[in-house]
């Protein structure tokens, strides 16, 4: 299926920041403001909805209202890019109210992470449009210590660099769990978030895909349960390769100890899988992350520990 890549941005473009799915702007206003300042500092005119900043309800606004915000951002011809402010929960309540045909006809860069995986993958699936799993406005662009150079290189290359190819480079030590070479459309994001798309019309196209996933602040047995859902749904038999992100605080509690580290767990879980699997790759909830272009075709080589767009 032919997939469309949205146009890069240029200095002077108007972009919109959307606060969806969690009241993080209310509880982290200083970081929100710093993230807005970062976008302005690299040349963008920035708009956002003031009414989303003073709300502390877990969804920020009713699902239909959030959907209207998203649609307004896509329909506004003056808005050239959309940056999602935070993560959260329950964005799956919102996507049923989106007009994907309008989104398809108004392609533009949209970037976010964590629970935003729902929106990003739904758009890629329904519109055949590349979306971007990358820094959040509040917690990355607005980081009190500043955006780290590794993340900034990937971010700037994605949104401003006229070269359309994604650049993948290691920050940590990438590892090979299962050797081999595979290529396909890269789909995924936050593991527990994309699980909620299984069995819906917004589920990623798994056949021949490269699945990338990461998670954080979880116990290993919970990750096991989610992965088992993917396995029972037959997804691991459909994909051609897998990229597992660098974990952030995934371990059993002292009350429920096991003798496995997370790395040992995934090695054991995927011991019988026949596709290439790469581990400890830099994306997701750690501060240092690269942008993953959901929907683009990539090749992974787990022997050489490389990922490249093809």
Every domain of the chain and the residues it spans: 14-159, 175-309
From first to last of its 310 residues, what are the pLDDT tens digits of the chain?
A: 789 999 999 999 999 999 999 999 999 999 999 999 999 999 999 999 998 998 888 889 999 999 999 999 999 999 999 999 999 999 999 999 999 999 999 999 999 999 999 999 999 999 999 999 999 999 999 999 999 999 999 999 999 998 878 999 999 999 999 999 999 999 999 999 999 999 999 999 999 999 999 999 899 989 999 999 999 999 999 999 999 999 998 888 777 667 788 899 999 999 999 999 999 999 999 999 999 999 999 999 999 999 999 9
What single-letter DSSP state applies at residue 70?
Answer: H
Closest-CA residue to 61 (of 35, 31, 37, 97): 97
| CATH class for the region spanning 14-159 | alpha beta
Residue-level pLDDT at 152:
98
Contacts of 187 (CB under 8 A, 6+ apart): 121, 124, 204, 205, 206, 209, 210, 211, 212, 294, 295
Return the CATH fold of 175-309: Glucose Oxidase; domain 1 (3.50.30)
pLDDT at res. 253 = 75
């Amino acid at each position: 299926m032919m997939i469309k890549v949205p146009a890069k941005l240029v200095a002077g473009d108007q972009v919109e920041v959307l606060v969806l799915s969690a009241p993080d702007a209310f509880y982290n206003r200083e970081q929100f403001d710093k993230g807005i300042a970062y976008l302005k500092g690299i040349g963008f005119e920035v708009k956002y909805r003031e009414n989303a900043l003073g709300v502390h309800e877990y969804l920020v606004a009713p699902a239909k209202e959030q959907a209207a915000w998203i649609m307004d951002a896509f329909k506004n011809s003056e808005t050239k890019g959309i940056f999602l402010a935070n993560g959260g929960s329950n964005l799956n309540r919102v996507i049923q109210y989106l007009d994907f045909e309008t989104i398809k006809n108004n392609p533009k860069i949209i970037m976010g992470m964590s629970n935003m995986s729902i929106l990003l993958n739904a758009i890629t699936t329904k519109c055949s449009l590349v979306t971007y799993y990358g820094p959040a406005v509040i917690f990355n662009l607005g980081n009190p210590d500043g955006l780290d150079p590794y993340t900034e290189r990937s971010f700037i290359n994605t949104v401003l660099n006229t070269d359309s190819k994604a650049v993948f480079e290691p920050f940590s030590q990438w590892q090979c769990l299962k050797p081999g070479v595979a290529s396909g459309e890269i789909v995924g994001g936050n593991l527990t978030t994309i699980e909620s798309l299984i069995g819906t019309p917004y589920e990623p196209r798994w056949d021949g895909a490269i699945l990338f996933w990461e998670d954080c602040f979880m116990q290993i047995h919970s990750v096991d349960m989610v992965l088992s859902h993917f396995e029972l749904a037959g997804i691991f038999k459909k994909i051609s390769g897998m990229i597992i992100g660098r974990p952030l605080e995934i371990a059993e509690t002292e009350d429920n100890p096991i003798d496995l580290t997370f790395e040992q767990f995934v090695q054991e879980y995927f011991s019988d899988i026949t596709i290439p699997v790469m581990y400890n790759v830099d994306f997701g909830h750690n501060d240092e992350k690269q942008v993953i272009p959901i929907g683009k075709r990539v090749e992974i080589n787990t022997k050489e520990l490389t990922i490249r767009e093809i």
